[in-house]
Amino acid sequence: MKYHLVSDRFYRQLSFWTERYKLHHVAFWVLSAIVGAWIFRNSETPVQAAIKMMLILSVHMVVAYVNLYLLVPRFLRRQQYLTYASGLLLTLGSATFPMAILVHTILNDQDLKSLVWSTFFLVVIALSLLFTVAVSMAIKLVKDWYQEQRNRQDLEQLQLHTELKFLKTQINPHFLFNSLNNIYGLTLLKSDKASESILKLSGILRYLLHESSKSEVTLDLELDQMENYFELEVLRLGDNVEASIHLQRPVNSWKIEPMLMMTLLENAFKHGSKGIGSSYVKCKGEETTDGYSLLIINSLTHQQLKSIESSGIGLLNLQKRLELSYPNAHRYSVTKTAEEYIVELSLTLNKA
């Protein structure tokens, strides 16, 4: 078991440094230069042949990276196939002639030099560049697939931890006791709000038990539970906290990971209801063109700021969930002042 942990830690550290400095890219091109120099070797020394091959591969590198980091993300992934094909052809055409000039310069064989500007040789150069594009895309697809599998495993573990933490901190015995105690008080006063509060509490419990295990729920359902949670907290706190909520109902049917935004609302009540004097929690959500955005503001004191910084495990877990579930599809920012804690979250969501 200990050996497994050490090996796993070593692998993750190696992956981090490799990805950060692109060492696998360097290894790939150096190996390609060595293999190419061995295949097309002549009277030159191995070092000279490898250097010349690296010069030739420099053009292949430019074409491959223009394709991977410009054409693919901007056009192919957005299903703009005609634009992508046109861009790829333009890139290949622009690289073919500099490649021919380079080959003509470094060749020693006069017979081969005379063939460089023939149509056949130019087509061969273009096809070799296209082959490099195909190989680099295949390697990138395999790498992305493997990374996605690892992210999915990490996400499953994180979801399990988050769900358990949510049940222990959000809907814990203390919260249930306060909610039921307040509901009991309403029943003694024969208030019409008692039955409504029971429904809201049961709705939250049902949501936790049945929906939290799913990978995604409808955004409307998540907003319902946020409003239920908000109203229960207002019922519990009474006039001690000035609270307001406005969650715009989306026109589109979006899907979202359960209990994602509720974590932010719970955190606001946790820290925004402990101040001495005027305490407040404000929550506003609105639909965007590609998803939903949320703004939550709560009052803050200097002591509470220290408490958040020292025990912000829930928010750290939330950031990790966002990185795994919504990579390049979220904007999350926290602004801390002397009096306020402001959290903004914008998500790019998929339609149900």
- Check: CB of residue 313 under 8 Å from CB of residue 284: no
In this prediction, the residues of the chain whose per-residue pLDDT falls under 50 are 1-6, 14, 17, 164, 167-168, 170-172, 310-311
Q: What is the DSSP letter of 287?
A: E
Tokens at 64, concatenated: 């491959």
CA distance 68 to 344: 32
| pLDDT score, position 239 | 75
CATH of domain 170-351: 3.30.565.10
Tokens at 77, concatenated: 């992934």
Q: How far is CA 231 from CA 167, 179, 246, 254, in A?
A: 19, 11, 12, 24
Q: pLDDT tens for residues 19-34?
A: 555 666 777 777 776 7
- At residue 118, the 3 state secondary structure works out as coil
The predicted model scores a pTM of 0.52
CA distance 224 to 219: 9
- Check: CB of residue 161 under 8 Å from CB of residue 317: yes
| pLDDT score, position 142 | 81
CA distance 264 to 267: 5
- Check: CB of residue 37 under 8 Å from CB of residue 49: yes
**Neighbour tally for 265: CB within 10 Å:** 25
Q: Where in the chain are the domains?
A: 2-149, 170-351
The runs of H, that is alpha helices, within the chain are 2-21, 23-39, 46-66, 81-106, 110-115, 119-169, 173-188, 193-206, 219-237, 261-272, 302-310, 313-325
Arithmetic mean of pLDDT over the chain: 76
Sign of the CA dihedral with 216 first, then 218, 219, and 221 last: negative
Q: pLDDT tens for residues 164-215?
A: 456 445 444 555 665 677 677 777 767 777 777 787 778 777 877 777 667 7
- Check: CB of residue 278 under 8 Å from CB of residue 334: no
For helices 119-169 and 46-66, what crossing angle results, to 10°?
60
Q: pLDDT tens for residues 207-248?
A: 777 776 677 899 999 999 899 888 888 877 777 788 999 999
Percent above pLDDT 90 for the chain: 14
- Check: CB of residue 244 under 8 Å from CB of residue 343: no
CA distance 349 to 352: 9
CA distance 76 to 219: 29
Q: Residue 261: which of 156, 166, 148 has the closest Cα?
A: 166
| pLDDT score, position 63 | 86
| pLDDT score, position 283 | 95
